[in-house]
């Protein structure tokens, strides 16, 4: 195992320290926690937006803490949910009197622990609402979750709900849009190589040099098909086919396209996938109103990409275009 670390058991702690030291004017860390909050938190009169989950998906989620997106992010150990106590500390730290909204990826540990934290906060008189993101169309159940997994589409939820909060939306209005939003986001990924959890010291699965996995999860969960190597165009078509079946793409539909690198895929290859998806959507008469390409929710050093589509309307276009100032995403 080749990794630039000191001690496998300290990677999360040292990463968070490094983030704060690198961005001291934007972030601060709550003492004794794995919580990073925006430097000016709590922001009075604005619903606070919190997300988080296991580490190893950077820049998700701590990289999206800042004006226009998250007020706080809670990091668990690598691929492990943060504890309810950690989430509760985040809620208390960013509550500005207008309530707190939790964005939860659909993994069993995340859902259970964030829901427990919400109950703890409610007992303290803090109004908390949440949404569970389940954008992965690849599989219904996996080793980490019941139902569909939450993957890169979660970042779009951060962006839109964060913009709504900055714009002056109430907690109830944010919750109402969130429920509609998660139904309109669909994603599917693939991998060329596995990743190595530092404390495990070995790959979580194996792929031969001439193999790839279609539908892999962001923790290396099995996908829907292991196949021989496909070209970029063939890969894009395979990912979009499953999304289209679920999303029911129609001519004249407006969508946002998110291309997400999983950690070790060059931007060159991400843009080639973007090109392919654009051509496929144009052939179907679907209009891409916005394209976002880069690494947003990774899986350590896994090579691969995911494709996400979001149905757009005028409000969502405005919220996506709204100003954001975070370490990983700026508008």
Residue ending a domain, choose from 128, 155, 175: 175
C-alpha distance from residue 172 to each of 49, 127, 131, 161, 322 (Å): 13, 10, 12, 12, 20
Mean pLDDT of 271-276: 98
Residues 214 and 300 in one domain: yes
Residues 287 and 201 in one domain: yes
Residues 19 and 107 in one domain: yes
Residues 14 and 109 in one domain: yes
Q: Considering the domain boundaries, does residue 157 fall inside one? A: yes
Residues 217 and 265 in one domain: yes
Q: Do residues 213 and 189 touch, judged by C-beta distance below 8 A? A: no
Pick from 37-41, 195-199, 208-212, 218-222: least confident: 218-222
State the alpha helices, DSSP H only, in the chain: 11-22, 84-94, 108-123, 153-167, 171-183, 232-247, 267-283, 314-321
Q: Do residues 1 and 201 touch, judged by C-beta distance below 8 A? A: yes
CA distance 43 to 49: 11
Query: How many structural domains is the chain composed of?
Result: 2
CATH number at residue 165: 3.40.50.10440
pLDDT(146) > 90: no
What residue numbers bound the domain in which 112 lies?
Answer: 8-175
pLDDT(125) > 70: yes
Residues 15 and 163 in one domain: yes
Cβ atoms within 10 A of the Cβ of 284, count?
Answer: 12
Positive or negative, the CA dihedral 3, 5, 11, 13 is negative
* Structure tokens, 188: 């599917």
Mean pLDDT of 70-84: 98
Q: Considering the domain boundaries, does residue 88 fall inside one? A: yes
Residue ending a domain, choose from 175, 199, 232: 175
Residues 60 and 192 in one domain: no
pLDDT at 145: 63
Q: Which residues pair with 293 in a beta bridge?
A: 259
Residue 147's pLDDT band (cuts 50, 70, 90)? confident
Mean pLDDT of 100-129: 98
pLDDT(256) > 70: yes
C-alpha distance from residue 198 to each of 110, 111, 195 (Å): 21, 24, 9
Residue 144's pLDDT band (cuts 50, 70, 90)? low
Q: Considering the domain boundaries, does residue 219 fall inside one? A: yes
pLDDT at 141: 67
Residues 239 and 309 in one domain: yes
Residue 204's pLDDT band (cuts 50, 70, 90)? confident
Residues 206 and 285 in one domain: yes
Residues 106 and 214 in one domain: no
Residue 139's pLDDT band (cuts 50, 70, 90)? confident
Backbone phi, psi, residue 97, to 5°: 95, -5
**Residues carrying an active site annotation:** 57, 219
pLDDT at 142: 63
User: Per-residue DSSP letters for 66-117?
Assistant: EETSBSEEEEEEETSPPPHHHHHHHHHHH--SS-EEEEEES-HHHHHHHHHH
Residue ending a domain, choose from 175, 194, 209: 175
Helices vs strands, H then E, count in the chain: 8, 14
Coil, helix or strand at residue 118: helix
Q: Do residues 107 and 79 touch, judged by C-beta distance below 8 A? A: no
Residues 125 and 191 in one domain: no
CATH number at residue 283: 3.30.1180.20
Coil, helix or strand at residue 9: helix
pLDDT(225) > 70: yes
Q: Considering the domain boundaries, does residue 1 fall inside one? A: no
Q: Considering the domain boundaries, does residue 330 fall inside one? A: no
Mean pLDDT of 4-10: 97
Residues 206 and 120 in one domain: no
Q: Which is nearest to 68 in space by CA: 293, 259, 327, 310?
A: 327
CA dihedral 207, 210, 216, 217 (to 10 degrees): 50
pLDDT(22) > 70: yes
Q: Considering the domain boundaries, does residue 286 fall inside one? A: yes
Mean pLDDT of the chain: 96
Q: Considering the domain boundaries, does residue 112 fall inside one? A: yes
Cβ atoms within 10 A of the Cβ of 114, count?
Answer: 29
Measured at the CA of 118, the angle between CA 155 and CA 167, to 5 degrees, comes to: 45
Pick from 44-58, 165-179, 219-233, 256-270: least confident: 219-233
Q: Considering the domain boundaries, does residue 301 fall inside one? A: yes
Mean pLDDT of 211-230: 94
């Amino acid at each position: 195992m080749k990794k630039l670390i000191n001690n496998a058991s300290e990677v999360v702690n040292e990463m968070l320290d490094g983030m704060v030291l690198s961005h001291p004017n934007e972030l601060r860390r709550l003492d004794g926690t794995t919580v990073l909050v925006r430097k000016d938190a709590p922001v009075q009169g604005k619903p606070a937006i919190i997300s988080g989950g296991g580490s190893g998906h950077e820049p998700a989620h701590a990289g999206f803490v800042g004006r226009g997106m998250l007020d706080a992010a809670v990091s668990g150990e690598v691929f492990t949910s943060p504890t309810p106590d950690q989430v509760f500390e985040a809620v208390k730290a960013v509550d500005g009197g207008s309530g707190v909204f939790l964005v939860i990826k659909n993994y069993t540990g995340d859902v259970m622990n964030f829901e427990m934290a919400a109950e703890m906060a409610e007992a303290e008189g803090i109004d908390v609402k949440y949404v569970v993101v389940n954008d992965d169309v690849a599989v219904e159940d996996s080793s980490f979750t019941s139902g569909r997994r939450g993957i890169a589409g979660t970042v779009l939820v951060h962006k839109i709900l964060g913009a709504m909060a900055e714009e002056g939306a109430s907690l109830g209005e944010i919750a109402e849009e969130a429920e509609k939003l998660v139904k309109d986001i669909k994603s599917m990924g693939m991998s060329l190589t596995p990743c190595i959890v530092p404390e495990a010291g070995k790959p979580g699965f194996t792929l031969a040099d001439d193999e790839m996995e279609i539908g892999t999860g962001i923790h290396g969960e099995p996908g829907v098909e292991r196949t021989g190597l496909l070209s970029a165009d063939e890969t894009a078509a395979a990912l979009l086919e499953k999304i289209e079946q679920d999303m029911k793409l129609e001519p004249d539909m407006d969508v946002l396209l998110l291309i997400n690198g999983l950690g070790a895929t060059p931007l060159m290859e991400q843009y080639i996938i973007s090109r392919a998806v654009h051509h496929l959507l144009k052939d179907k008469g679907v209009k891409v109103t916005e394209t976002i390409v880069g690494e947003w929710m990774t899986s350590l050093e896994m090579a691969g990409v995911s494709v996400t589509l979001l149905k757009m309307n005028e409000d969502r276009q405005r919220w996506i275009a709204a100003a954001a100032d975070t370490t990983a995403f700026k508008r």
